[in-house]
Chains A and B, each alone.
Chain A
Amino acid sequence: MRLLIAIIASISLLITEYRSERLLPLRATLSVFTDSLKYAVDLPVSLFEKTSNELASYNTLKKENTSLRQEQLINRMQLLKFDALEKENIRLRALLENSFKLGEQVLIAELLSINMVADEHIMVVNKGTRFGVHPQQPVLDANGVVGQVFRALPFSSEIMLITDPNHAIPVQVNRNGLLTIAVGSGMSNQLNLPYLPNNADIRPGDLLITSGLGGIFPAGYPVGVVDDFPETTNKSIPHITATPKSLLDRKRELLIVWSSNALMPLTAPLSKTPADNE
């Protein structure tokens, strides 16, 4: 009898969650308890990292400092150039009567070192709805796209990586703008490109960037590099794969991105740019 009640209750819960979002508050409440467990499991690892940081010697810190400073100098220089290019791009797009997306806002989140389900590529970070994180937000790291927010809880959020077999990301080849979709392979260092015609102009070493189609990922972020594949001249389609740019299982800091969906008005950049350029 009790078993029957339990089975009916579970199945009705399953169905309600498939159909609607009504159970989200319940999940959020229960997640306060489970998140404390997640933080507890993460604690030894983060403590170890913190203490090893504290114990780093003066010399290594100094070395790191100088190298970081140099890196920052180089980055800033590139950024200046990039700024000018962006302005120019906006102007040109305005001439073409095309809209342009504004810049993005980011939040730095730290990965919790826990294993969720072994065969799913889902990771947990320490920022949740209390910081305004919401599902489907893109997640990046310093090298490229990591994935998207899959479920946001009050104190943590689950991130589906681009390598998850259930994940697909619209990309384009940086060299020629060829559009396709990169599907996760289930392996942490591989993406599949199954939707390519066999005469597609794609070569090993091509950089794949987000195309901005689909409306979730902002355009222009690196996703991966096309792997070597045997050149075939006949009709057989080679199985083309790519290696993700981001270090999916090594990085601890991630960036959660708010891409403002407001498109820049067509006339505004022209009147604004002179003032901005100085």
Chain B
Amino acid sequence: MHSCPSPRHLAKPLQTMNNSYSAMRIFITLLVAMCLRIAPLPEILAPLNPDWVLLVLIYWSLAIPERVGIAHAWCLGILVDVLLGRHFGQNALIYSLIIYACLVWHRQLRQFPVVQQSAFIFLCLLLSQLLLFWFKNVQAAMQISGAFWLPILSGTVLWPFIYQLMRSIRRL
């Protein structure tokens, strides 16, 4: 549950004051998310590792939609493509699509209770995984096990915690 978004005219002066400060915070959280994305987890947990970068990016796009845009999402997607050794543009496409949806519906999403938000996150992650599935099939014929879809579930389950954590970081 998000507290009522502050009206623009109140938020503006505050924003200009700690503009660089919040930009740095976004940068650092995304950096940590990228590290978590490639963290060496034990073999049982590894297939559960959700797309942290996307989750953190979704949070920022809901919390401060006026500062996080599709361009940011696209650039970040390119970086993640390099990080994970995927073809250029896969994650960029996925991130920009999902962030677009978040920006369009951010007003409604912010009013939603956490469960409903999680349902939305589930849909986002499903979309991203479906697109990845499609890219993989275009690249090479390979069998994809059921474990491929697990990050959707783990991401959905983790979303409330990520949301709370990120909100406390934003309020810091």
Binding site for B on A (CB under 8 A): 2-3, 6-7, 9-14, 16-18, 23, 26-27, 30-31, 33-34, 37-38, 40-42, 45, 113-119, 122, 150-151, 158, 165-166, 186, 249
Contact = CB atoms under 8 A, between A and B. Distances in A.
B89 A14 contact: yes
B39 A2 contact: no
A10 B16 CA distance: 32
Contacts of B35: 37, 40-41
A41 B82 contact: no
A40 B31 CA distance: 11
Chain A binding surface SS class: helix
B153 interface: no
Interface of B: 31, 34-35, 38-41, 43, 46-47, 49, 69-71, 73-74, 77-79, 82-90, 92-93, 96-97, 100, 140, 142-145, 147-148, 151
Given A41-B40, A186-B143, A11 B89 contact: yes
A6 B98 CA distance: 12
Given A23-B88, A41-B35, A6 B93 contact: yes
- Residue with the greatest number of chain B CB neighbours at <10 A, chosen from A10, A16, A33, A34: A10
Nearest to A30: B82
Given A2-B69, A6-B96, A116 B85 contact: yes
A34 B82 contact: yes
A13 B92 CA distance: 10
A122 B83 CA distance: 12
15 contacts: A2-B69, A6-B71, A6-B92, A6-B100, A9-B92, A10-B89, A13-B88, A16-B88, A26-B88, A34-B83, A37-B35, A41-B40, A115-B41, A115-B46, A118-B151
B89 A17 contact: yes
Contacts of B143: 165, 186
A186 B46 contact: no
B142 A165 contact: yes
Given A11-B93, A27-B88, A114-B39, A2 B71 contact: yes
Given A14-B88, A165-B142, 11 more contacts: A2-B71, A6-B96, A10-B74, A10-B88, A10-B96, A14-B90, A16-B88, A27-B82, A115-B46, A118-B47, A249-B43
Contacts of A2: 69-71, 100
